[in-house]
């Protein structure tokens, strides 16, 4: 289902729409573990579907924001436990020679086929736009080279950083083309590590590569939403230079400042804290926080209320309901 026209139709009524990045509660609805969903595309799909059936108010469904899938495909070692999102252990590369020898993997590597299966099943089985997920080039490079080392390399070994970014971009582009073929409405590209850079460095070492991918895959039927929860506001211009249809901000960003910087013809999404609000607060407090964010952003028709990042496991279901009830109340009064 095409997301672009779908959201335009929703926003034209001047009602607020919600699109939290949220999958883990669906896993819990199935009585499954995180490990089950991140290793099995069918379970992953059923988790997305179960959550949508429980909370149908979201304007779109999202897959798990797993920032290890692409790194694993390249050969990175992962730490995986029953009920936590996987993480990369150590680093795969240590210098130009390693980067030069690095092979861009096929889409049959690691868990990529399972994620594509989840995308395909969700696109077919859910009567609502579905957004898949992928990592951004700079964030992938950091997982392969080590985050501290890649930040140093852009100054001390820029040729190493650029070669690695070329290979990361090639793989992510192939992956996004495969995601597009599954029939989903778009992809949320998570590039949080780019938020550690200055705006100028973000332009050079993230945005130019992200733009290359977006130019190749984004069209009227497929949307790219760029997520950068590391951006505190300092690199919003670099994000906008990518040409994405939507921009997703983390809870450290000033949402009003972001809205003022972004054009009115792109979607701006965020930014309730997925842990500090959704997981830790009471339903009454979640309701109040959501209501306050909606009120502050009332002057921006392109704002879509969301979480600041993927919600973690064990978010209370009453808190999710409180979030949607706040949106419903706001729309009744608008």
Q: What is the pLDDT of residue 6?
A: 67
- Give Cβ neighbours of residue 328 (< 8 Å, ≥ 6 apart): 57
Residue 294 clears pLDDT 90, i.e. is over it: yes
> If you average pLDDT over residues 18-27, what whole number do you get?
96
Q: What is the pLDDT of residue 88?
A: 95
Residue 117, Cβ density class (10 Å: 0-12 exposed, 13-18 middle, ≥19 buried):
middle
Q: How far apart are CA 200 and CA 177, in angstroms?
A: 28
Residue 256 clears pLDDT 80, i.e. is over it: yes
Q: Residues 315-325: pLDDT tens digits?
A: 999 999 999 99
Name which of 81-90, 101-110, 314-323 the model is least confident about. 81-90
Residue 289 clears pLDDT 90, i.e. is over it: yes
3-state secondary structure of 227: strand
- Give Cβ neighbours of residue 124 (< 8 Å, ≥ 6 apart): 183
Q: Contact, 134 vs 71, CB < 8 A?
A: no
Q: What is the pLDDT of residue 12?
A: 63
Quickly state the pLDDT bin for 136 (edges 50, 70, 90).
very high
Q: How far is CA 180 from the centre of its chain?
A: 16
Q: Which of 55, 64, 107, 21 is nearest to 308 (CA)?
A: 21
> If you average pLDDT over residues 285-307, what whole number do you get?
96
Q: Answer yes or no: pTM beyond 0.75.
A: yes
Q: Contact, 143 vs 38, CB < 8 A?
A: no
Which helix (H) or strand (E) is 151 found in, with range? helix 147-156
Quickly state the pLDDT bin for 333 (edges 50, 70, 90).
confident
Q: Residues 189-228: pLDDT tens digits?
A: 999 999 999 999 999 999 999 999 999 999 989 999 999 9
- Degrees to nearest 5, angle at CA 286 with 283 and 290: 140
Sign of the four-CA dihedral 198, 201, 205, 209: positive
- In which region does residue 170 sit, left (phi positive, over 0), alpha (psi from -120 to 50) or beta (all else)? alpha
Q: Which of 41, 63, 37, 42 is nearest to 52 (CA)?
A: 63
Residue 1 clears pLDDT 80, i.e. is over it: no
Full strand arrangement of the beta sheet holding 223-228: 61-62, 130-135, 186-190, 223-228, 246-249, 267-272, 303-307
Question: What share of the chain in percent tops pLDDT 90?
Answer: 92
Q: How far is CA 241 from the centre of its chain?
A: 18
Q: Residues 154-167: pLDDT tens digits?
A: 999 999 999 999 99
Q: How far apart are CA 211 and CA 207, in angstroms?
A: 6
Q: What is the average pLDDT score of the chain?
A: 95
């Amino acid at each position: 289902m095409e997301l672009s026209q779908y959201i335009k139709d929703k926003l034209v009524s001047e009602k607020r729409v919600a699109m939290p990045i949220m999958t883990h509660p669906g896993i819990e609805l199935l009585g499954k573990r995180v490990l089950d969903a991140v290793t099995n595309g069918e379970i992953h799909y059923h988790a997305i579907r179960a959550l949508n059936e429980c909370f149908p108010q979201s304007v779109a469904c999202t897959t798990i924001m797993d920032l290890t899938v692409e790194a694993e495909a390249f050969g990175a070692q992962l730490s995986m436990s029953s009920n936590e999102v996987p993480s990369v252990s150590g680093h795969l590369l240590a210098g130009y020679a390693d980067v030069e020898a690095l092979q861009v993997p096929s889409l049959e590597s690691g868990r990529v086929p399972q994620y594509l299966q989840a995308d395909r099943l969700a696109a077919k089985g859910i009567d609502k736009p579905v957004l898949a997920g992928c990592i951004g080039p700079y964030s992938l490079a950091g997982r392969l080279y080590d985050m501290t080392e890649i930040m140093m390399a852009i100054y001390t070994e820029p040729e190493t950083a650029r070669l690695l970014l070329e290979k990361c971009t090639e793989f992510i582009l192939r992956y996004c083309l495969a995601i597009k073929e599954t029939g989903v409405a778009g992809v949320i590209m998570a590039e949080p590590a780019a938020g550690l850079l200055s705006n100028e460095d973000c332009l050079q070492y993230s945005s130019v590569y992200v733009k290359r991918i977006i130019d190749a895959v984004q069209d009227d039927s497929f949307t790219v939403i760029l997520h950068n929860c590391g951006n505190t506001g300092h690199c919003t211009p670099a994000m906008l230079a990518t040409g994405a249809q939507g921009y997703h901000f983390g809870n450290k960003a000033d949402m009003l400042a972001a809205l003022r910087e972004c054009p009115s013809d792109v979607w701006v999404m965020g930014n309730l804290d997925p842990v500090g609000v959704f997981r830790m607060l009471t339903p009454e407090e979640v309701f109040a926080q959501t209501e306050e964010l909606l009120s502050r952003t009332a002057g921006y028709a392109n704002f879509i209320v969301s979480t600041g990042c993927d919600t973690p496991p064990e978010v209370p279901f009453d808190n999710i309901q409180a979030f949607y009830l706040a949106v419903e109340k706001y729309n009744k009064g608008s």
